[in-house]
Structure 1
Amino acid sequence: MAPTPGTSARDQLTFLLQQAEPRAARPERHLWLIALVQWLRAGPQPVLDGGPAPALQPGLPAAVWRLQAVLDALDADPGRRRAVAAVLQRFVLDNDATSLLADFGFTSRPAFWSEFAERLRTKIMPATPDTGDLASLFGLLFNSADDADWLMALPDAQLARVVALFTTPAVPVEADDVAGAAPPVDDIAAHWRAEIAEAITFSVSHVRSAAFSPLLRRRMRATGDVVQDVVTPFRQLASAWEATQRHLHPGERTAGAADEVTPLTQELTYFRALLDACMQAVRTVPEHLEDNGVSVSIVFDAWQLERRIARIEILLDCLVGRENGREHLRMLADFARIVQGRRSIVALVARNTSLLSRKIAERHAETGEHYITHTGREYAGMLWAAAGGGAVMGLTTWFKIGIIGLHMPSMLTGLWVGLNYAATFVLIALLHWTIATKQPAMTAPAMADKLADLSDRRAAQAFVDEVAALTRSQAAGVFGNVALVFPAALALGLAAQWLFGAPLLDAAHARAELASLSLLGPTPLFAVFTGVLLFASSVVAGWTENAFVLHRLDSALRWNPRIRAVLGAERAARWAIWWRANISSMAGNISLGFLFGLVPELLAGFGLGLQVRHVTLSTGLMGAATATLGWGVLHESAFWWAVPGVIANGLLNVVTSFYLAFRLALRARGIGLQDRRLLRTALRSRLRRNLLSFVWPPRAAAAQTGDAP
């Protein structure tokens, strides 16, 4: 069917047009049309009759030039033109257009995971041209990223010539060898208008059923105080469309031109007004989710319902619009974009999790403010809180060594190590102390929250102030953790050695721990991996808090009869308030502990030897090894290679988790490249003028102006 690549454009085109056979089997006709569109998209520059194709407007896509060559060749051969027109008209008559017009781009079951599975199936399973479904055929015809561009670039004169091929009566259509006889249709355009009208009917039915689903109906807001205002436009859509249809059928119109147009115009105006009211109601769903928690499934359902309403508008334009051919072209270009969009699973996830990402970022922005210090008093408080966290982590280090020393199965070891970490992190949070490397994933969204308006230099400067404050806070947190975790682990090891008469960690294992922390080994890679886990725990924290709010669990804790019967009304109220304030912290700490314990063991089962390298835990291991090896270890190179390894741990833990969280926050807030360049410029300027502000808190007066001395 396809022409030989090495032949000239004229020979290829001649070969293609000669293959058009109206009486061929259905898959053969479809294969011919696929080959023709492929030639338009990627064929050679056409040269006809020894000269170039007729000149078109400069800058048009090459496919437009090739289509011009096809049309000119058909005009020069009336017999071949009739055959091609017959194939094209059979394509319209023999295939179901409703699935393309009404359902293309939508999942059959309106749910996020159904669409996810459908896209995965589309990427894996091949399609067949032996089908009467225009939606399936469209994906085979227009499967290039450039198709929408060249379709929209078709000149009006060329578009009219293409429409004539589809609508001008050609040769009689005989029985199809496979699908049976096609009904005789004198007016192809009338048949197509009936298909569009039927597609609108189906779309209206989809819109009504989706809008009446409990998940969406409860989240749509009315313009007034009456809930009935929300659902009334959806309820009236079907009857309004039926009234409009009565004026679309020529047989039911009255004789006078005025009598024909005025009722149709009135009904269309009312129907479009209902569509607009439905669209406004659907667009209130994200506003409800912003206030009451985000569900990816609800976001997807609302997005799909909004697109179905927009599809009805497009079909109406194709049916009654003044520029009928151009409206069809816009619809086809939109379908071509849908083909590309439906091939991307990443695009589906990104689009439907963007609101969830924003809500996670906002939850963290509220929490992250507590981790950023601006004054000397706050800086000292951070040092103190981090020192307390470091002291507890010294004990955690020895618990971890003891668990590993039990030589349990790997997954059981990971479970107990994760429980050890989780209990430690929760205890530190309850004592209002801190672990430094947990801060960046929380503070990055708080910083991005400053980027809501970058219309002037002052907003960029405020952001740079936050960067400097974060850097100072991180320095204080790391210094406080490291300053106490090493002596705490050392003191506990020496105390246990004095009490039991032998070190808890033998010399061989102590040297192995020091060697594992060396900068010369895989420590930097493991530190980046740990930063990813830190970020992952922050996502779990934000997601958990969002789910807590979405399902109104604080209200359930306070008012559920069974809970009130057990706790009492006053205690239930206190628990509800406490969990609402601390659910994010608890979820983040517990998830981080188990991520640290279980993920390395799970990956080891797949042959990936990734390990956790957390700056505070690594420093604690150094203290434990020093307790076993004594002060003579200070003369060994292994110890001094472990020191820069620990420093690298701290830097990479912080930078990785902060970078990932900050990128999430930027995407959630839609910060563009131009604004990012503005921020980088402001940051470089501050580094040149006042490097000390990134290390030490400014004086109060300078802090108020945002420009430290």
Structure 2
Amino acid sequence: MEAILRTMVSAPTDRAFDLFRELVDTMRPRDHADAVAANNAVQALAYLLEQSGDFRAALRRHMLHLLSTRKQVQLYTDTGILSNETFYTALTRRIGYRVLPPVFNRYSLKDVFGALFHKKTDYVWLEAISREAWLALGRAMHFHDETDLVSINKTRVQVLEAIQVLSCRLSAIGLEPELVRNNPDIERFESPFVRQNVETLAYIEHYRRTMIDEALPDEDVRPILVLLDQCEEWLTKAKKSAAKNGISVGLTYHLVRIYQHIERMRMLLLLIDPVPNPDKAELVIDGLVALVRAENRKYRIRDVFAENTSLLALQVTEHASHTGEHYIAETRSEWLGMFRSAAGAGVIVGFMALLKLLTAKAHIPLLLEAILFGLNYALGFMLIHMLHFTIATKQPAMTAAKIAATIHAGSKRNRQRLDLDELAGLIVKVVRTQFIAIVGNVALAMPVALLIAMTWNWYFGVPPVDAAKADHLLHDLSPIASLAVFHAAIAGCCLFLAGLISGYYDNKAIYNRIPDRIAALPWLNWLVGESRARRLAKYIENNLGALAGNFYFGMMLGMIGTVGFLLGLPIDIRHITFSSAYLSFAAVAYNFQLDWHIVAMSVLGIALIGMTNLAVSFGLALWVALRSRKLTFQATKPLLGELVRRFLKNPAQFFVPPRSPKPVVEAPVPSLPNHQETVREWVRLRRQRAG
């Protein structure tokens, strides 16, 4: 490090880029997560600069030359800020740049900056450097001793140009039709986005005139900062409005861009403001780290999804969490009601399993068979929903979002400690509701399938499936001889996707105002009447997501096996309710002459299939719900000990809810005699007798 600084003292400024790159390479720790080494490097540089005035002057001279001879605007306006393009264009552009990076421009500060911090993990060790070390380095630079005003003014001019670009972009984004639609008040009142642009342009013009006179402006940036605050307040209102009216990827994209432009404008305005500001050093540090982070991650595809789908994911899981409230039984009566609802679904599944077996027995063309399989599942699941019945495995994707919403609400109330009692109680309710729903599905699916198979055998003289098909069904239930558990995990992924699809269509119905548009259809009002059209629109508003989720879930279950066969991959699905029904069909095919080992292995397979269905769908749904609220699984760790303690203390509560305490009926308090009324009545009677 000292050798590089000595070279800077005598080296011409044309070598500034190469020398700075060597300096950064020297300071970079071998392990990017080594915070101690990163802090030691910065402290060593600060010590060398404090000890030698020549080192300080040389470093400032090369730095100012590097800044003043490069085009800076693009670094401030583009790095870390989404461009004016659609989400899909941004995604394809990043993919293209990963395959074929753009040409390096030595005279662009953006490209030079990226070349200085060329390691993809440079932002990690820069973020690990303490504020004290950064501030010590800033003091050691002695910028107040710098006399090269020409280079400094060139940098100021480019920062002003960057602020102007950001301000114009911000005003344009704030008037996007999709944003105005989400907040109509912006059309009735003066837009803060337009007003900040007017104030910013006036400030920049005044700043440039004073620089010509070799002075600094006497105006400050506070009016512009106030207008930026108003833009940020509008951003908060837009997010709240989106919670009611739905959101899209395009709207999320605009909101993210607004926030990024506001933050970058605020930083540049405070940096260039001549008024002394104690937070200016902090801004320089935060700005440097933010730019390095953005430059290191500029081609990361995951960041595009994370930035642009965060609000949409939150809305999808929020709708799912509201639906999840209906899948959580609070009392014993609701718990028994869940059993009845699941039992009704078990009856329908018995008939759906028969249709699946008969379709396979027909040996129709493969693609048509897959479509019929999917329609059988899809229409059956939609019928179950319309009859207000419950498929047990549909619950985890909904209840996981509800749990994540509770964690998020708890963490907002108390950043230090979540309400573990409340959260553990919610999970216990979820577990026992899930348990009784599975019992209801299986308890009815198996006997109904058994009754159907026996009736079929009595009427037609042969069972619905022959011995060869029965062997295949029993083989598919074995967790040892087949890939039953793996196929159950695939079904769990389908359940998870169905939950997301449900939330997406609920959001879509609100955002596109589909119910209102249906209720306003002229031909529908003429055909069924205005009141029925409104009822139909209301039903679609409340059930579009659930119907769409059930339809797509059914199509996925029906077609995945065929897709796996066509690709030559061992891909299929196993669902606990259908698997239990298939065991009944196989038992009738063998006239109940099954070895107990086979029955035990099949029952074990059904249990493992159910556990895998639930675990995979719940885990994935909880992960997405936590990510959408910017939480991690770390937030759920304290729950484990609390749940274990509850299970050891009272395991029955995980399966059966406690009885509701009987209301205490208080005995009526006998009314005391009213002595005044008694006296009045006595006086009245005496007067009557005297008269």
TM-score for the superposition, normalised by structure 2 = 0.84
Match of 2:363 in 1: 407
- Which among 348, 354, 359 is matched to residue 315 of structure 2? 359
Match of 2:681 in 1: none
Are positions 1:215 and 2:175 aligned together? no
**Paired AA for residue 125 in structure 1:** L
Match of 2:113 in 1: 138
Q: Distance in 1 between matches of 2:418 and 2:28?
A: 50
Q: Distance in 2 between matches of 1:43 and 1:253?
A: 47
Q: Distance in 2 between matches of 1:447 and 1:545?
A: 19
Whether contact under 8 Å (1:221, 1:281) holds in the other structure is no
Match of 2:204 in 1: 245
Are positions 1:62 and 2:40 aligned together? yes
Match of 1:464 in 2: 424
Match of 2:685 in 1: none
Whether contact under 8 Å (1:403, 1:416) holds in the other structure is yes
Q: Return closer, same or farther for 1:327/1:357 CA change in 2, 3 Å cut-off.
A: closer
Q: Distance in 2 between matches of 1:580 and 1:439?
A: 20
Q: CA deviation at 1:625?
A: 1.2
Q: Distance in 2 between matches of 1:689 and 1:372?
A: 22
Whether contact under 8 Å (2:328, 2:433) holds in the other structure is yes
**Paired AA for residue 652 in structure 2:** L
SS of 1:453's partner is: helix
Worse-superposed segment, 157-166 or 361-370: 157-166
1:288-299 pair list within 5 angstroms:
288-299=241-252
1:421-462: CA deviation from partner (whole Å, max 9, x where unpaired) = 001111112222222111222233334444423668994333
Q: Distance in 1 between matches of 2:479 and 2:30?
A: 57
**Paired AA for residue 147 in structure 1:** L
1:47-86 pair list within 5 angstroms:
61-65=39-43, 67-68=45-46, 71=49
Match of 2:302 in 1: 346
Are positions 1:103 and 2:78 aligned together? yes
Q: Distance in 2 between matches of 1:286 and 1:280?
A: 10
Whether contact under 8 Å (1:491, 1:627) holds in the other structure is no
Q: CA deviation at 1:157?
A: 6.2
Q: CA deviation at 1:650?
A: 1.4
Q: Distance in 2 between matches of 1:310 and 1:427?
A: 51
1:630-675: CA deviation from partner (whole Å, max 9, x where unpaired) = 1111x25333211100011112212222232233334444556675
Worse-superposed segment, 694-703 or 398-407: 694-703
Match of 2:410 in 1: 453
Match of 2:500 in 1: 539
Q: Distance in 1 between matches of 2:140 and 2:420?
A: 55
Q: Distance in 2 between matches of 1:677 and 1:360?
A: 25
- Which among 513, 519, 538 is matched to residue 558 of structure 1? 519
Q: Distance in 2 between matches of 1:116 and 1:628?
A: 54
Worse-superposed segment, 64-73 or 136-145: 64-73
Q: Distance in 1 between matches of 2:337 and 2:134?
A: 70
Worse-superposed segment, 350-359 or 468-477: 350-359
Q: Return closer, same or farther for 1:557/1:689 CA change in 2, 3 Å cut-off.
A: same
**Paired AA for residue 525 in structure 1:** F
Q: Return closer, same or farther for 1:91/1:76 CA change in 2, 3 Å cut-off.
A: closer
Q: Distance in 2 between matches of 1:402 and 1:496?
A: 12
Match of 1:577 in 2: 538
Q: Distance in 2 between matches of 1:242 and 1:470?
A: 57
Q: Distance in 2 between matches of 1:15 and 1:261?
A: 38
Are positions 1:641 and 2:601 aligned together? yes
**Paired AA for residue 585 in structure 2:** A
Whether contact under 8 Å (2:50, 2:140) holds in the other structure is no
Are positions 1:650 and 2:610 aligned together? yes
**Paired AA for residue 466 in structure 2:** D
1:573-592: CA deviation from partner (whole Å, max 9, x where unpaired) = 11101111211221121111
Q: CA deviation at 1:495?
A: 2.7
Worse-superposed segment, 392-401 or 236-245: 236-245
Match of 1:707 in 2: none
Worse-superposed segment, 277-286 or 467-476: 467-476
Q: Distance in 2 between matches of 1:74 and 1:493?
A: 94
Are positions 1:286 and 2:249 aligned together? no
Identity %: 26
Match of 1:319 in 2: 272
SS of 1:651's partner is: helix
Match of 1:159 in 2: 138
Q: Return closer, same or farther for 1:412/1:36 CA change in 2, 3 Å cut-off.
A: farther
Are positions 1:602 and 2:563 aligned together? yes
Match of 2:457 in 1: 497
**Paired AA for residue 100 in structure 2:** M
**Paired AA for residue 318 in structure 1:** L
TM-score for the superposition, normalised by structure 1 = 0.82
**Paired AA for residue 63 in structure 1:** A
Q: Distance in 2 between matches of 1:246 and 1:23?
A: 33
Q: Distance in 2 between matches of 1:164 and 1:252?
A: 19
Q: CA deviation at 1:99?
A: 0.5
Q: Distance in 1 between matches of 2:90 and 2:530?
A: 44
1:162-213: CA deviation from partner (whole Å, max 9, x where unpaired) = 57699665xxxxxxxxxxxxxxxx7100100000111111111100111111
Whether contact under 8 Å (2:38, 2:125) holds in the other structure is no
Are positions 1:388 and 2:344 aligned together? yes
Q: Paired residues, what number?
A: 648
**Paired AA for residue 374 in structure 1:** E
Match of 1:181 in 2: none
* Structural RMSD (CA): 3.5
Gaps of 5+ in 2: 665-691
Q: Distance in 1 between matches of 2:127 and 2:402?
A: 40
Match of 1:147 in 2: 126
Worse-superposed segment, 69-78 or 570-579: 69-78
Whether contact under 8 Å (2:442, 2:577) holds in the other structure is yes
Whether contact under 8 Å (1:425, 1:590) holds in the other structure is yes
Q: Distance in 1 between matches of 2:530 and 2:446?
A: 46
Q: Distance in 1 between matches of 2:523 and 2:639?
A: 53
Match of 1:522 in 2: 483
Q: CA deviation at 1:126?
A: 3.5
Q: Return closer, same or farther for 1:553/1:234 CA change in 2, 3 Å cut-off.
A: same
Worse-superposed segment, 356-365 or 529-538: 356-365
Q: CA deviation at 1:405?
A: 2.8
Match of 2:166 in 1: 203
Q: Distance in 2 between matches of 1:372 and 1:148?
A: 43
Q: CA deviation at 1:72?
A: 8.2
Q: Distance in 2 between matches of 1:166 and 1:342?
A: 36
1:421-436 pair list within 5 angstroms:
421-436=377-392
Whether contact under 8 Å (1:167, 1:188) holds in the other structure is no
Q: Distance in 1 between matches of 2:83 and 2:333?
A: 59
Are positions 1:125 and 2:112 aligned together? no
Q: Distance in 2 between matches of 1:528 and 1:646?
A: 13
1:249-287: CA deviation from partner (whole Å, max 9, x where unpaired) = 3557889x9xx765x13xx33222222222211221111
Q: Distance in 2 between matches of 1:318 and 1:458?
A: 39
**Paired AA for residue 37 in structure 1:** V
Q: Distance in 2 between matches of 1:166 and 1:590?
A: 72
Q: CA deviation at 1:22?
A: 4.6
Q: CA deviation at 1:150?
A: 4.3
Q: Distance in 1 between matches of 2:426 and 2:55?
A: 73
Match of 2:156 in 1: 193
Q: Distance in 2 between matches of 1:409 and 1:18?
A: 81
Match of 1:306 in 2: 259
